[in-house]
Chains A and B, each alone.
Chain A
Amino acid sequence: MTQNPKSKPSSDSAKGESAGNLSDPKFLAELRVLMLKFAKLQLSDESLAEDAVQDALIGALKNAGNFKRRAALKTWVFAILKNKIADILRKGQKYVQASSLLNEDQEEDNMDQLFRENGHWHKHERPANWGHPQEAVKQDHFWRVFETCLHALPENQARLFMMREFIQLDANEICESLDISTSNLHVMLYRARLRLRECLENKWFLKGENTEARIL
């Protein structure tokens, strides 16, 4: 990761109206909700999540410099939060019960729905061409779909997925901190990604409001 949350962005612009974003109660409240959502998915323990968010916000308020854009401020605050969560996870506290990681029967059913016996896709499950996937990020409704799909993942899969793809922890680091095997991690991430892509495709890319996707 290139960003260093400890260092203030070197914006030398005058203190415009955007300088006090963290003192805007509405913005702060919204940011807090998003942070909490993120932290809770990572640390199934609610009070630990609250603490991490609180710490991150205090750190941010203490050092808030000038941010030209709210997006830059958000990135920075989330970088601090990511570090707090990673610290907690690194401390070796095992929030994921290894025994509950794999729910084999249920997962096998899901795989059977996707793949035929010979291991090839069922015809109606074949991944479609998403067209211009970068267009989706501009649409508010897409993000609601994205959140819905994320929350539809089994809890352990969601947590591992977020550790890997949101916080971008190294795979070995995740295995160590959660005390799971590499192959377990690979299987869980694979299943999470399979589910997520299926959900996004069905709920967004093949829906009427998005005409980009074509089944090839």
Chain B
Amino acid sequence: MKSIMMNCKEATKLLSEKRDRPLSSKEKTSLKFHTMMCSACRNFDKQMDSISVYAQSYIKGKDDDE
């Protein structure tokens, strides 16, 4: 990352990748800096969590609790 100020495209890419690989501390810092100021990317991050939860609920008998 060339500067500490990353844009939303870069931030969301890292927010996706952190689910598949560990981020470097430099990446983590820039990401933290960005999401602190960007509510849209914060929402994106939470949505990624939700999607993982949905994926697991989907195959674990979501509609059948009897």
Say yes or no: A165-B21 contact (C-beta < 8 A), given A78-B60, A197-B44.
no
Task: Give every chain A residue within 8 A of B9 (Cβ-Cβ).
Answer: 111, 115, 119-120
Say yes or no: A197-B66 contact (C-beta < 8 A), given A118-B7, A127-B40.
no
Asked if residues A197 and B7 are in contact (CB atoms below 8 Å), the reply is no
B 25-56 to A, binary, CB cutoff 8 A, 1 in contact else 0: 00000000000000111011011101111111
Total interface residues on A, CB under 8 Å, equals 47
B59 → chain A closest CB, angstroms: 5
Q: Main SS of the interface on chain A?
A: helix
Task: Give every chain A residue within 8 A of B59 (Cβ-Cβ).
Answer: 38, 75, 78, 82, 166
Asked if residues A71 and B65 are in contact (CB atoms below 8 Å), the reply is yes
Rounded to whole angstroms, the CA-CA distance of A120 and B59 in the bound complex is 35
Asked if residues B21 and A171 are in contact (CB atoms below 8 Å), the reply is yes
Asked if residues B17 and A190 are in contact (CB atoms below 8 Å), the reply is yes
Asked if residues A127 and B51 are in contact (CB atoms below 8 Å), the reply is no
Query: What band does the interface of chain B fall in when counting residues whose beta carbon is under 8 Å from A?
Result: 35 or more
Asked if residues B16 and A143 are in contact (CB atoms below 8 Å), the reply is no
A47 → chain B closest CB, angstroms: 22
Task: Give every chain A residue within 8 A of B41 (Cβ-Cβ).
Answer: 127
Asked if residues B58 and A166 are in contact (CB atoms below 8 Å), the reply is yes
The winner among B12, B57, B61 for most chain A CB atoms within 10 A is: B61
Is A134 interfacial (CB 8 A cutoff)? yes
Which A residues are within 8 Å of any B CB, using their own CB? Answer: 18, 38, 69-75, 78, 82, 111, 115, 118-121, 126-130, 133-134, 136-137, 140, 143, 146, 161-162, 164-166, 171, 182, 185-186, 189-190, 193-194, 196-197, 200-201, 216
